[in-house]
Amino acid sequence: MKKKKIYPMYFLIIPIVLYVVFFLLPSILGIAYSFTDWNSRSMDSVKFVGLDNYIEIFTSDKNYISGILNTLKFTVVSNIVKLIPALFLAILLSEKLKGKGIYRTLLYMPSILPFVIIGIIFTSVLNYNNGLLNIVLEALHLDFAKQKWLSELSVVWKSIYGVDAWRGIGYVMTIFIAGLSTIPRSYYEAAQIDGANFWQRLRYITIPMLSSAVMINLVFGITYGLKVFDIVYVLTKGGPGHATEVITTYSYQLYSNGQYGLSTALNTVLLVVTAVIGVFVVKKMSKQEVQQ
């Protein structure tokens, strides 16, 4: 039976035009420019150079490859660090608890803070000599735990994951809470009658029924991780040295130096990586949907 359409097809024209002009076209132009020597001095005389920029990225002394690897590492680790605690927090805050509304709000608040604010606050808190964290550790006689949080190579990534988790857990948790609320209580009651403990209930009921929430968080988390710039830049600017450089910080540096062609080539590499992962995730999701 032909469903009566509420809105005619030509309503789509304006959104499609806006999308094409402001999103699709610049992306395609960007990819095209990545095959040229576009830079700040040759604004009117751009020359086609083929794959030179890409060869530069993969063979340069400047180690862009470590930036790409750091980005992938960040994507994987930051998601693990956020999803697992968020899941447990969500389970905790779905129980009958006094004031759970307040706790949920408090946990969610960091994700509405602008990154610049987070950067300013945490560079101060994590300062080795005068930062709040080290001073508190000293006061508690835990001097051995004092670290150069943002300038020691062995610790700097952990600091970034920590700050990123502090910021992002609330959001992930909120999605899980929404997912948990759809699981009927009767399943848990039935399982408890059968003698299942917390971990078994988690494994056989919670996680399977939360698969769509997990998928949502994974998709958001993966795209965030691959595009990460703000949290790294405001904390370390890619330093110390080049230890915390990611694709986007290198791209930003290249842009600042006026090497626009190389910068867009790096962004195109990011686009390809994101597209491959995106296609894979979407395929998995649709398989899951079909199963369900």
Partner 1 sequence: MKKKLISILLMVSMTAVLLAGCGGSNDTEEGSADSGNDFAGEELTILVSAGWMDNRYDETIERFEETYDVTVDVQTIPADQYSDVLQSKLSTDSCADIFWIQSNPFAIESVIVDPEQYCIDFTGAEWKDKMPESRLSSCEYDGKLYGLQIWHNSPEYVMVYNKTMFAELNLEVPSTYEELLTICETLAGADVTPWFMPGADGWQHQLAFFQIGGAYEDDKPGLYDTLNNNEATFADNEKMLQVLEQFKELSDKGHFGEDWIGTDSTNMMNEFADRSCGMAMANSSFIKQIQDETDSEDEYGLFLIPLGDNDTYPTNPSGPTMFGYNGTEHPELVEEFFNFVTSTDSLQEILNNSPAYTNVDMNDEDVEQHWLPEEEEFMATIDESKTGTPVLQTGTKYTNDYWMNFGADMVAYCQGTMEANDVLKNMDTNRAEAAKVAGDAAWE
Position 150 contacts partner 1 (CB under 8 A): yes
Interface with partner 1 by CB under 8 A: which range of 47-55, 165-173, 250-258, 271-279?
250-258
CB of 234 to partner 1, least distance (A): 12
Interface with partner 1 by CB under 8 A: which range of 148-156, 175-183, 201-209, 275-283?
148-156
CB of 153 to partner 1, least distance (A): 6
Position 39 contacts partner 1 (CB under 8 A): yes
Position 137 contacts partner 1 (CB under 8 A): no
Residues 42-81 that bind partner 1 (CB under 8 A): 42-43, 61-62
Position 251 contacts partner 1 (CB under 8 A): no
Position 212 contacts partner 1 (CB under 8 A): no
3-state secondary structure the chain: CCCCCCCCHHHHHHHHHHHHHHHHHHHHHHHHHCCECCCCCCCCCCCECCCHHHHHHHHCCCCHHHHHHHHHHHHHHHHHHHHHHHHHHHHHCCCCCCCHHHHHHHHHHHHHCCHHHHHHHHHHHCCCCCCHHHHHHHHCCCHHHCCCCCCCHHHHHHHHHHHHHHHHHHHHHHHHHHHHCCCCHHHHHHHHHCCCCHHHHHHHHHHHHCHHHHHHHHHHHHHHHHHCCHHHHHHHCCCCCCCCCCHHHHHHHHHHCCCHHHHHHHHHHHHHHHHHHHHHHHHHHHHHHHHC
Position 253 contacts partner 1 (CB under 8 A): yes
CB of 235 to partner 1, least distance (A): 11
Residue 54 vs 128, nearer CB to partner 1: 128
CB of 249 to partner 1, least distance (A): 11
CB of 151 to partner 1, least distance (A): 3
Task: Find the binder of partner 1 among 243, 271, 277, 281 (CB under 8 A).
Answer: 243
Position 130 contacts partner 1 (CB under 8 A): yes
- Binding residues (CB under 8 A) for partner 1: these are 37, 39-43, 61-62, 127-130, 148-151, 153, 237-243, 253, 255-259
